[in-house]
Structure 1
């Protein structure tokens, strides 16, 4: 299933936990799961009907990860927006959803790593369920 050893240095059990959290929350509309750091990435899951080869999937996902890595630099801004206990606070950053013509990208960031989920059409509550589950895995 996996191309190991992982470039990011994670182990198979951790990868399984991330994929399980995503698949349980999102189900059959899940297209892919990518774990990434500021310098590396691993494709943990890709739905079998999407790409002819793993190499093609990796090329496509690498371009997406390059764009989403900006989230690590945005962290101080996101934190500044979440003024604790202030009535005008929008609360702490949880996750990002990007809407595209043929699906969605969900980015969940931890301090040193993140996870991208790509999906077909999905209910907004499923995004939150997936993000909460992925956050719990990243925090363990």
Structure 2
């Protein structure tokens, strides 16, 4: 499933829990699960039909992580848009879904760690349950 030792500080049981949560909620449409920090990343899961090698998968996902790291500075700004107890508030930032022609990229952040999920095209409603479950895992690990 993944290479150890990890480049981040994630532990194998927690990595397993993240992958299991994503696979349970998203199913066969899940393409990959990436755990990342502001400076490192680990590819925890990649569907076997996608890349000819683990190295090719790592290269492709590293480019994606570089782009998504902006979330560590962006999330507090987005949350600042939310004013607690005001009826017109949109609420705190939770997660980001990027829609592409053949699938989705979902970024979930908590403190100084995050998870990126990639999927085939599917019903976007499944992402909320998955995001909430992964957010709880990330926050409990912090």
TM-score interval (norm. to shorter): over 0.9
TM-score in terms of structure 1 length = 0.97
| Structure 1 residues 83-127: Cα deviation after superposition (integer angstroms, max 9, x where no partner) | 100111101111100001111000000101000000001212101
Cα RMSD of the aligned pairs, angstroms, is: 0.7
Secondary structure in 2 aligned to 1:124? Answer: coil
- Alignment check: 8 A CA contact 2:102 2:120 kept: yes
- Alignment check: 8 A CA contact 2:33 2:43 kept: yes
Segments ≥4 residues shifted beyond 3 Å:
none
Aligned length: 140
TM-score in terms of structure 2 length = 0.96
d(CA) in 2 for partners of 1:76, 1:132:
18
- Alignment check: 8 A CA contact 2:79 2:91 kept: no
Unaligned runs of 5+ in 2: none
Aligned twin of 1:100: 100
Per the TM alignment, residue 9 of structure 1 is displaced from its structure 2 partner at its CA by 1.5
